Structure 1
Amino acid sequence: MFREETSQSKKTLRLNKRITRLKALALKYKRAEITQNALLEISNSASSVTTPAEFYSSLHRTINRLIPADNFFIATLNANTGRIEVPFFQDEKDVHPQEFYPDEDLSDTLFSGLTGYVLKTEQTLICDDETYHRLLQANAITPRGSHCHQWVGTPIKSVDSTIGVLVFQSYDSDTVYDEIEIELMNFISHHISGVIQRLQNQEQLEQAINTRTKELSIAYNKLKQEVYERRRAERLQKSLFEIADLANSNIDNQEFYSEIHRVISHLLPVNNCFISLLNETRDALTFPYFVSQYDLPSPKPRALSDGLTEYILLNNKPKLLNRCDIKRLIESGDLYYEAPELNDTQEINQWIGVPLFIHGQICGALTIYSYSHIQNYQEKDLELLTFVSQHIATAIEKKQSEESLKLSNELLEEKVNERTKALASVNQDLEKEINQRKRIERQLVHDAKHDNLTGLPNRSMFMERLTQAIKHIRRHSLERFAVLFIDMDRFKLLNDTLGHLEGDRFLIETAKRLKQCIRNNDMLARLGGDEFVILLDSISGQQDAEDIAERVLAELSKPYQLANQQFKSSASIGLAMSGQSRSDTSESILRDADTAMYQAKSQGKGCYAIFNHGVNQQQVKNLKLENELKNALIKNELQLSYLPIMALDSEQIIAFEPRLFWHHPSLGKLKQAQLNNIAEHCHMVIELDNYLLEQVNQSFHSMQQQYGNQFQLQVPISSQHLNHKHALRALKNRIKQCRFNISKLTLFFNEKQFVQNTDNHISAFDSLNKLDVKLGIEAYGSAYSAISSLIFLPIQTLKLDPSYVAHLESKQHVKLVKAYFKAAQALGLEVFAAGISDSKQCETLQEIGFTNGQGSALGNVIELEQEKDRVCA
């Protein structure tokens, strides 16, 4: 009986064990099924979502159905930057780490905590209170976030690295994560690494596409603007050509003015337009042309009064007025006070009036206006019309001259007819007519090959003669000839200051002087503008041509008497010799002479240069000099000097302009201008400027000890710093690193570079102005930029181009300097004069109103000793 019971117990025990194993196996299969379903759901979600945020939200929902995951976040490691990011975060106590630690870097914060510990160890971490305190005592982590009951971090591993961490935590002691949940999370984290990398790559690709799309859009808009500006410039050029053709056309006045109106209409909308001219006594107005969109009658000639046209003539400058401006002028009594019957401006929306000048004197006005609010003119339209008006005035002047000449010819013809009728013999009359026709034919032949202004042979005749000379020396190889290409310096300045009539007188006088320098068998011709060319025929050698070039330079350097004052000029001459090549042609020899002329200009003007086929040797020398400059900058061999800037009345030093110089072992002392030229050729302008700023920074303390704390620094600097955002950022950083008060520093940029790239300067000046550094324009007047362009610049100072001070003996130059000074005063700008070389210039500048300046007459350059072991940053 006992044996039977014992046997029955053993069977029962074995059955219980088998039931336990079956339950464990069923639970294992159940977990496998749950895991499989979870992975399937995650896989389906990964294939359907388009952004990482959607995937992480779906992943969280799936995990939350498997284990308690109300407090859950995902941290990923950016492969490009090496920084931790948190694309998904949900917690019942804490906010996102970025908000929890707003003053800290998110990546550094996570790296110092438990998340960073898992990334470093690449192992799953189950952290309870005991583990947490052990890690704190070992300085392995820094306390982060709120205290929790249990914290679990599972690394997300790729093939060869850990790319993130899955983190879930519980604040409730009833919620405990065991090995089953952790094993499940390890399994899930292993299978989602590929999805995370794919979504990250997709997001990076989309960001790259968006960035590239924006770049292409910006480039397209910029190209579109360039095309618009180019088309606008082409329209303007075409219009100017048409105006010039109209001046020489044989049409009546009404058709002439109608064509002027048509040309202007191509540039801007002009539905209402009229031209008014002063009479010879300048006390009345005539209106040779008037057009209105409402077909109003043309105004009749009238005496000068206080109308809008007279307002423009009185102010002597272009004006853009809207209805409110006109109403305010009428209310203030400036308009239509004396003649209210002339006021027909009630319906006018905008009104533009531009004075017309002939021989520097106002002769009338060009006026356009609009009635519609849809059609609005802007300041750029005023500037455009002002520019075109100069050419219109020239065309009107030529037209009037032609009419006067035509009237004189008609009167002359009448007298000739009267005398012809008095002749007794018909044969004598006929012979006179025949002779007259022959003279006309000879004149026509002469005019076709000669310049109308100077009477010299033109290009066509010169090229024929040059071709004959080439053929001659090919038959007579021992004979030689030379070509001198002459270009007058500063002719554009003469035209702008004294006018085209004085410019024509200058060219005629130049032609007379050149004739005195050559022989009868030589040929002098005018190619056009201020370009002349000489063919020296049958010379013995190059020395003969150089002697003639020296004679021409001496003759043209003598003062000219123009507009009751003296004007000094000079010339640049290019010399080309025959026999340099068997393939020489008239065009190639003239081109060689032209090339040599530009070499002369680059050497400083007022000299001549001989065309040399071995110019490569000079380029080698230039390259050597550029390399020497690079080494000199590295070795800190350039030294610093200071040019004092003084008050003109007391000669008190108010500022210094720092300049570099270099004692070259073979070329001697090279000054700042020469160093700038070398640096420009070898693309080291920015490096040279940085060297200058560093030397100023190092020497400022010693200068302050010697000259006190009141002086300012005026540093000229290249606009290349403004061409790229990286260069501008580097310049701003260098300014911030100055060891003296930045408010004492004024950076000067060249006007020519400003004109070439105005938009870049405006943007960069706004950025630099925020640093409390002052800004200025130097060499002002050298590029003839519009005064209106200064309105858009946050500048405080202008420095006049030295060429204006050098010619203060000219009344026209004095007027121009006064204009610049008053314009700068009106804009609230401080003006400095540069290049003062004598006391008379100083007195003239003070009479104009200048108070400060620099130059050889105001103190010597101060040279500083340089420490040999100092290294330039």
Structure 2
Amino acid sequence: MFREETLQSTETVRLHKRIARLKVLALKYKRAEITQNALLDISNLAASVSTPEEFYSSLHQSLKKLIAADNFFIATLNPVTGRIEIPFFADEKDLHPQDCYPNEDLSQMLYSGLTGYVLKTEQALVCNNDTYQQLVNSNAIMPRGSNCHLWVGVPIRSAECTTGVLVVQSYDSNIHYGDIEVELMNFISHHISAVVERLQYQEQLELAIETRTKELSIAYNKLKLEVYERRRAERLQQSLFEIADLATSNIDSLEFYEELHRVISHLIPINNCFISLLNEERNTLSFPYFVSQFDLPSPKPRAVSDGLTEYILLNHKPRLLERSDINALIQSGELYCEAPELNDTQEINQWIGLPLLIHGKVSGSLTIYSYSYSQNYQEKDLELLTFVSQHIATAIEKKLSSESLQLSYEQLEEKVHERTQALACVNEDLEEEIHQRKRIERQLVHDAKHDNLTGLPNRAMFMERLSQTIKHARRHTLDKFAVLFIDMDRFKLLNDTLGHLEGDRFLIETAKRLHFCIRSNDMLARLGGDEFVILLDSVGNQKDAEDVAERVLVELSHPFTLSNQQVNSSASIGVAMSDSSNSDTSESVLRNADNAMYQAKSKGKGCYVIFDHGNNKQQVQELELENELKMALKKGELQLSYLPIMELDTERVIAFEPRLFWHHPTLGKVKQLQLNNIAEHCNLLIELDNYLLASINEGFQTLEQQFGVDFHLQVSISSQHLNHKHALRSLKNKIKQCGFDLSKLTLFFNEKAFVQNTNNHINAFEILSSLNVQLGIEAYGSAHSAISSLTFLPIQSLKLDPSYATHLESEQYLKLIKAYYSAARALELEIFAVGICSKAHCQVLSEIGFKKGQGIALGKVFELNSAKNQACA
């Protein structure tokens, strides 16, 4: 009995155990079924969703059916930027990490936590509090977020690469995650990778389709624009052809302008337009064509004023004006200020004006305007009309030229008819015209042999008469003749001072006075300028010729009345007597008289000299003198002297003008002026200047020891240095060799040379000014150069011509001196008076404003060894 009960109880226990196992298996099967259904839902979900956000949200709902996943988030790694992103986040306690840590970088924060740890290790992680603390203590992670009971993270893999982390966590200690949950999450992570790849591919595909669609749309629009532009170009070309045809058509003006309007209307809509043209005097506007949508009458021709049409003609530019632009121009006074009655623009919305270039200048305009706000012209319309207007202007020009030519033909026919009638009358006057021509021929013959101003025989007639006289003297050896060559000493100065009109009166008066000095059989002629010549026919001896010369000198010494003032003049006369050697020619006799005249000038002017064939000996002597000067330059026999330049009021020495002199064994002391004359004849001016600069450099230290350092040197230099680049380069090198401060050196060039070759001086002055030397013009006023020419020169100083200081009693000279002084001050140039001979001169010049000068009244030229005594004297 007991055994049976035992067996029964054992069987009961076995049955209970079997029932318990069956319940567990039933629970597993049910869980497997739920898992399978959830996984099927996830698989179906992966195929049905269209965005990652939709997939992640649905995934979360499905996962919650399998495990406790109220706290769930997905972290993904952006393959482009390499940064961690959280596309889905759900948590019971914490906010989104971006909101929890707003001041930290989300990607770096996740990299430093458990999420980054799973990404780095690429292994699933089940982390409890102990595991979490071990990772923190080993610095593998940084503590982030609220404390949780369990944290599970599995990597999301794609093509052997980890692309994210799937995370669930629990704050409840009753919830546990085991291998089954981890395996389940691993399975889900594979689906996540595949779905994300599919969605990304789908997104890229849609983006590519959208991009391609935009490209096709742009290409289509471009094609439409190209087709439009091509059609527009065809219409423009057709319009230009029609405009060209109009230019050669025979239609009248009204029809011509109507056709132009029609052609332009094919390009843009034009309801209101007109064409305006200027007359030849450019003071009247006419309107050959006018059309208005309101059938307004055409404007009548009117004087040029300040309307919109004149605005376009004046500015020479096409303009598109809005209503506001027109109002602004009216308010600024540019439009309708002179003629407000012309303003009929109150209702105009837009206004286009295009200038028309006719016969090489703006002579008209094409105007288009609109009253409607619905019809708006744009800049492209202005550009189109501007292009077309050029062809319109050409067509109008051809049309006007054609009409002008037609009018010319008609006028020509009328003139031919009139001329035909006039020819009948011409024959009657032909005989009178022949007589008139003969008189003119006789006058031409007379003019060809006579001076137009004085009526005297000219050079050609005089040489013809002299040649006849020489031939007569050869046949009649007892008959003698003489030639007097007369040159007025101050004519150029009088001509430049008083003007050419007074100069002509002076020459006429001179010719009259010379007539009083000769006989009726003698001949008086004018060679040109202020040169007169007298042929004394049949003189007894040389004394007769001298008497005539003295008579001429006396007659010409009497004052001339010019410009209501008395002017004194004189003459230099050269006398050449006939030669018994029969070797005379008209040229040689005149040349001999000319040479004698120059000898008279060298003797001081106002006298006469009889030509002597012995003068050849003097020429030989001059040649010897030139050779001696060359040797003196080589041997260094020329010495240096200085002329002081002082302040007029204090007579303090401020500068010196170095001058050369030469102790000649027979001629004695030859001064700088004579040296320059000799050097000019033998072409040694450049060598003489180089010698002067070398002497200045050698004696500068001694001059500085005697006078201190507060002075300048003013050196006269020949302009021959500036005639070619080699001479200029040599001058530059000579200046650079000077061992003293070049800012104390002023180089003066003659005004006459500057006038004769202005360009060379301007270029050379620019080069010389770079050497730190100062530059100036001397003898200023002798050539009367234009004051404006000084503005082109980098000069600092002017020296007045010495002749002005010797004529201070003349009012004309005083006016010139004051003008020169004012001009120099206006140009900020330092000006020096030269040739001051007395204290009275100093007083007059000081009153004008001169501060500095030189001359015998201020100090004579001295040699260096006695410099102090002479300068103080």
Shorter-chain TM range is 0.3 to 0.5
Q: What TM-score results when the alignment is normalised by the length of structure 2?
A: 0.46
Q: What TM-score results when the alignment is normalised by the length of structure 1?
A: 0.46
Between structure 1 and structure 2, the one with the greater Rg is: 2
